[in-house]
Structure 1
Amino acid sequence: MFKKILVANRGEIAIRIIRACKELGIATVSIFTEQDANALHITKADQAILVTPGPIAGYLDYAQIIKVAKWAGADAIHPGYGFIAENWRFAHACEEAGIGFIGPTSTAIRSMGNKIRAREMMATAGVPLVPGSPVLQTDGEAKDWAARIGYPLMIKAKAGGGGRGMRLVQDDEELLRGLPVARAEAQKAFADEAIYLEKFIAQPKHIEIQIMADRYGNTIHLGERDCSIQRRHQKLIEIAPSLVLTPEKRAEMGEVAKQAARQINYHTVGTVEFLVDRDLNHYFLEMNTRIQVEHTITEIITGIDIVKEQIRLAAGEPLRLTQDEVRLWGYAIECRINAEDPRNNFFPSPGKITKYQSPGGIGIRIDGCIFGGYEVPPYFDPMLSKLCAWGNTWEEAVDRMCRALDEYIIRGIKTTIPLYKKLLEDEEFRCGRYTTEYMENKIQQLSYEDLKEPFDLYYIAAAALFFEMHYFYTEMK
């Protein structure tokens, strides 16, 4: 087992990893840039080291991170998610430096990071694919492939993820307008402008299978998560398990996901993502070769600490579970609490948190990185925390999440909490009839009034004292 792990990330995922390490008896090192000097993850680790430059570049400079890890005596690095978690060059540099990388091999990351190569490998493994094109060299070639596949189509970045470099197009005119925009987005996000076309599946569910695999040929899945509630391909609410999959369909998709992992000699945790149509046909979307933001709800319904298992697998330990031992209990919902203003096109809302009060009680879990007085920086992903609710039934999970959202107080900045309150009241959501198009179709109907800041009792008492003193001095005269 590792003796000391450097956590190459920030925010809630850094804290989550540090907690798992502490339970395993592993010392931790956190890194931070100057703009994160008051961040909570610094206080949780055994050691914190400033990296430069800021605000973001220090979290992306893997050569510096490896140097810091060696200096601190860390024998492994955990990348979390985002930043350089799926950078195969970083994983390869760790391999070359003799430092454990808590994730897959650089070869596996590289294979799945190239969307065209990933599709080819999944086809070889017998995984169902959405019809698509190879990498497009010219606009004329794009039009030819569009005619073969048929509209509507998605333009996608070869090295893409997180919705970047993606465009939905309905005809040749939209295609020709969208191609240069998608190429520019792909170049900016991934330093690779290569794009391809993929058939657009109307009103699908976005369902992902959580997998775990060791170095000895053992692979299991931990069920699925429904990630269909998203905006511009960014997930907002996730649910486990899905409300639409039958046990037979879950087992079928789980076996497909395990086969996909075996195809690339995968030996860590990860997810295989699918689009599922109205007839429950499933199509490979992508594979995420890292811990997922929403791993928490799978932990809740299985009782398995995925991060601790990820660390054990990276240390060369075999899986401690067989597929038959995996059980799913109840339902779990995760709401990503973001520093955004939903009433202003989800514009980021950095600033100082003037009041913070978290919910609690049975079935509630919060993974976060904020506190009263914390200054939310404008440089990073807007997610502040993940609020999760569990229930024996779907209805209990929804009711419990509604109660938790009512208790959750974050003032001084705008958040997505009021939007989620309205969303959980919606009958279409409660009945599970939502698809990936839900937010785009419903956003105008999920309107709400901004919460008015309460008139603090402190100010009431101060005003009362002022008038009492004023009356006293007036009488004395």
Structure 2
Amino acid sequence: MLKSVLIANRGEIARRVIRTCKRLGVRTVAVYSDSDAKALHVREADEAVHIGASPAKESYLRGENIIAAAKQTGAEAIHPGYGFLSENADFAQAVIDAGLIWIGPRPDSIRAMGLKDAAKKLMAEAGVPTTPGYLGEDQSEERLQKEADAIGYPVLIKAVAGGGGKGMRKVEKKADFKAALASAKREAASSFGDDRVLLEMYVQRPRHIEVQVFGDTHGNVVHLFERDCSLQRRHQKVIEEAPAPGMDEATRKAVTDAAVLAAKAVNYVGAGTIEFIADASEGLRGDRIWFMEMNTRLQVEHPVTEEITGQDLVEWQLCVASGEKLPLKQEGLKINGHAIEARLYAENVDAGFLPSTGRLEVLSLPQPFPNIVRVDSAVAEGDEVTPYYDPMIAKIIVHGRTRKEAIAAMSEEWDAVGAWPVKTNAGFLARCLADPGFASGDVNTGLIAARGEALSRQPSPSSGVLENAAKAINSNAIFVGSGGDRTVASSPWSQLAGFRLNSESVPIARMLFKGERVSVTLGAAPQAGWLAHGGSEVVIFDRGEAYEFTLDTGERSADEATAGDGAILSPMPGKIVSVAAKAGAKLKKGDPILVLEAMKMEHTLTAPFDGKLSELNAKAGAQVSEGVLLAKLEKD
């Protein structure tokens, strides 16, 4: 077994690798950027090395700095985690050339599967079924338009070097193709340094099925069954589970056999995932599942595979990198129960899921419980969520004897989830878990889009939440956490009961919620949720949702003063990649004004109502800070 490992990553995956290394007695070395100097992975590693400034391209993407850190600290091997340089064949080769051990597949395997078009051609030649589409070298707009028309709409544009939904666009009709192509190419170039795309037939009721494979240097290849990652929002996975609901043994054999065949076709070593798209219009069938791509690394959702197999996949990676045989043969691997993973992100659901940044003054996560609840977190309370990296806060994983039991266990955990003032998708995740379609296993990649606001809109605060907020404001509570009161003022001057002549005192709290005045008679309803922050501003958490209330002083609120004024502010720091409108133009509600790139994803800012664009302060290529006025719309 290896003696020391440098982890060329950050956040929850770096902590995940450190955890296994500590259990095995392997020394760990962390690397960090300026903004990660006090991060959890830095604190938990045996040693840590600074490798550059906060932007990833100046730190975590600087391969030469990472290799230098490994040599400086005497690390034997480099574990790339996922993202960053994990699927960079040149970096893998550089690690090997430096006399270090690369904990991953051979560089030529990464190259073979790294570009989607080349990988699909290779898989077709190996006898693995692939999705119909266009994989040609001609990348002209005219040729791609012609091929899309021939495939038929809707059609899917995918970056050949892509992953994680970046550089991917679904095009519903011919008229939308050119704009979608331009956007996909921009995002692909920004994320991968390669703007080439391929086209695929869009499957109408798609299920995203992927198979975990593992190979060693002795020629052995096994699969660890399948995962279902169909619950997605804009091609980004939201909730993953294993095994796939509705998967019979014949279909499982067909898809896992195809995955092993794909891995053997590239002489695969280490952990990898073969991703398939399934047409679920008639349920899962072996003849309606096609190869999409291969991820030559450990996946974000690997914990659900670990939970149903009882295997530590990071330990398997270390064993293979040490030259050992796989810990188990295929017949030794069995499915035990059902596991579900939900990705908790720092993002503002009300603002179209834009990433949310800032200091986590409050962060509450479920308590881990062996074999039932697992939490792989990236940050702790007091840490900063920066605009430089993926905004994941944690992965929450549950295991149950059945899918129904796992869903029930997962649903209970959201009562303990809360973050402030950073926004999260916790409430959205709770609603996804409660969705009848998800509960029944009738899941496809279009479920979230089909449900629309039913899943993405914050529900109105319940009477119990209002009562809780009112009591907090009435008592001038300073801080009440999920574990109970920490400090509550008891001065009579902080009470809102008021004085009455010839009648009983009826305490009424007057508050503001999203700019609207709310009056609550205390004692009218049982409490619900828990108080995260108090005083004249109160935040109540209920089922993952954060409800903010302020004391109504009778003055006009800031929200009221600015609501409907048509100001288009930058929702977060980023770069303006294109401007779609001109000053003076008349726009309809929903018309695009500009595209902002942040965290390597494009976000389109649109007109909030019909009106005239009276002011435009945006230029393509400009860097902007959060809260900057980019444009202003006047109502007709």
TM-score (normalizing by structure 1)? 0.94
Give the superposition deviation at 1:171.
3.7
Residue of 344, 367, 389 corresponding to 2:376 = 367
Give the drift of 1:178.
2.6
Q: CA deviation at 1:205?
A: 0.3
Q: Distance in 2 between matches of 1:87 and 1:39?
A: 25
Task: State which of 405, 425, 430 in structure 2 corresponds to 1:396.
Answer: 405
Determine the structure 2 residue equivalent to 1:231. 233
Q: Equivalent residue for 2:291?
A: 284
Report the counterpart of residue 65 of structure 1 in structure 2: 66
Counterparts of 1:12-411 in structure 2 under 5 Å? Answer: 12-56=12-56, 57-133=58-134, 134-278=136-280, 279=282, 280=285, 281-360=288-367, 361=369, 363-411=372-420
Assess, with a 3 A threshold, how the Cα gap between structure 1 residues 465 and 395 changes in structure 2: closer, same or farther: same
Q: Which amino acid aligns with 1:401?
A: M
Partners of 1:171 and 1:402 in 2: how far apart?
38
Deviations 1:300-350 (A, max 9, x none): 111000011011111111012111111111111101010112122112111
Distance 2:164 2:196 in 1: 16
Larger relative strand fraction? 2
- Structure-2 residue corresponding to 1:440: 449
- Tell me which amino acid in the other structure corresponds to 2:68: K
Contact 1:135/1:195 (CA < 8 Å) preserved in 2? no
- Name the amino acid aligned to 2:273: T
Report the alpha carbon displacement of residue 195 of structure 1 after superposing the two structures with TM.
1.7
SS of equivalent to 2:489: helix
Deviation at 1:467, TM superposition (A): 5.0
Cα distance in structure 2, aligned partners of 1:270 and 1:347: 30
Change beyond 3 A, Cα 1:358–1:131: same
Unpaired runs of at least 5, structure 2: 480-484, 495-636
Structure having the larger proportion of residues in helix:
1
Pairwise CA distance, 1:439: 1.2
Q: Output the TM-score relative to the length of structure 2.
A: 0.71
Offset, 1:462: 5.2
Residues matched between the structures, number: 468
Between the aligned partners of 1:238 and 1:165, the Cα distance in structure 2 is 22
Structure 1 pair 37/121, CA: closer, same or farther in 2 (3 Å)? same
- For 2:458, the aligned partner's letter is Y
Q: What is the identity, as a one-letter code, of the residue corresponding to 2:490?
A: A
* One-letter amino acid of the structure 2 residue matched with residue 381 of structure 1: D
In structure 2, relative to structure 1, the CA distance for the partners of 1:445 and 1:462 (3 Å cut) is: closer
Q: Which one scores higher on RCO, CA 8 angstroms, separation ≥ 6?
A: 1
Would you say the 8 A contact 1:136–1:195 is kept in 2? no
1:217-253: CA deviations, max 9, x gaps?
A: 1111111111011111111110111102111211211
Q: Secondary structure at the match of 1:77?
A: strand
- Structure 1 residue matching 2:380: 3-state secondary structure: coil
Kindly state the Cα deviation for residue 457 of structure 1 after the two structures are TM-superposed.
4.8
**Cα deviations by residue, 1:22-54 (Å, 9 ceiling, x for unpaired):** 122110100111111221001110001111132
Query: Which whole-Å deviations, capped at 9, do the CAs of 1:55-88 have from their partners, x for residues lacking one?
Result: 3220000011101111110110001001111111
Distance of 1:202 and 1:399 partners within structure 2: 30
Which structure would you say has the larger Rg? Answer: 2
Q: Distance in 1 between matches of 2:128 and 2:85?
A: 27
1:90-132: CA deviation from partner (whole Å, max 9, x where unpaired): 1011121111111101111111111111011101111111111
Kept in 2, the 8 Å contact 1:422–1:448? The answer is no
Moved more, 442-451 or 153-162: 442-451
Identity %: 41
CA distance, structure 1, for counterparts of residue 488 and residue 331 of structure 2: 64
Q: Following the alignment from structure 2 to structure 1, what is the Cα–Cα distance between the partners of residues 190 and 378?
A: 28
Q: What amino acid maps onto 2:331 in structure 1? A: D
